[in-house]
Amino acid sequence: MLRFLWLSVSVILFDQVTKLWILATFKEYEVVVIWPVFNLTLVYNKGAAFSFLANAGGWQLYFFIILALVLSVVMTVWLARLQRHEKFTAWGLGLIIGGAVGNLIDRLLYGKVVDFLQWHWGDYYWPSFNVADSAITIGVCLMLVDTFRPPRTDHQSG
């Protein structure tokens, strides 16, 4: 099932190209309204999702680098051991690995993650995110769906 690593590579490339474009085009906190509920804006995140540990004093950079490396290796081994019929899990792992590596590259290059997608409703703003974060979220959802699907029997084709 390692063939699903093409998905990881695609996520990494799309994530990095969009971040390079944002970095070349936007100043930090500059906002471009795309729709009344959606903006593009360059922000940086030194933490994890929802800026978790963003103000932890610097140690979190090394923690998240090590965590991303370890989890990427574990998920790649998991992907390699999947059976042919476990396609939802393979798609999910491919997306999660790509997202984890995309944000890992940011941490290694910039010491923080580049975020630029921003949804809002009125004065409520969802935390900004990026393509890698989206891939991780979709990947986790696919794996959750697979968890609730009935188990396949040997005579069912994948």
Return the pLDDT at 11.
98
Question: Measured between alpha carbons, how far is 19 from 67 in angstroms, rounded to an integer?
Answer: 22
CA dist 76 → 38, 92, 130, 143 (Å): 34, 11, 22, 15
Q: Which domain holds residue 46?
A: 2-26+39-148
Contact indicator for 87, 95 with CB cutoff of 8 Å? no
pLDDT of residue 141: 94
Domain count of the fold of the chain: 1
What are the pLDDT tens digits along the chain (158 aa)? 788 899 999 999 999 999 999 999 999 999 999 999 999 999 998 766 655 555 556 677 788 889 999 999 999 999 999 998 888 899 999 999 999 999 999 999 999 999 999 999 989 999 999 999 999 999 999 999 988 877 765 555 55
Q: Is 158 part of a structural domain of the chain? A: no
**Predicted structure pTM score:** 0.86
In this structure, is residue 51 part of a structural domain? yes
13 CB-near residues (< 8 Å, 6+ apart):
none
Check if the beta carbon of residue 69 is closer than 8 Å to that of residue 142. Answer: no
Q: In this predicted structure, what is the pLDDT of residue 61? A: 77
Q: Has residue 69 been placed in a domain?
A: yes
Angstrom distances, CA of residue 111 to CA of 29, 118, 133, 148: 18, 21, 17, 38
157 belongs to a structural domain: no
Which residues are CB-contacts of 49 (< 8 A; sequence separation ≥ 6)? 127, 133
Q: Residue 153 falls within a domain, yes or no?
A: no
> Are 103 and 61 within 8 A, CB to CB?
no
Closest CA to 4 of 99, 101, 76, 105: 76
Rg, Å, the chain Cα set = 17
Active-site positions read: 115, 133
Residue 10 lies in a domain: yes
Domain assignment present for 31: no
Q: Is residue 6 situated within a structural domain?
A: yes
Tokens of 53: 């540990």
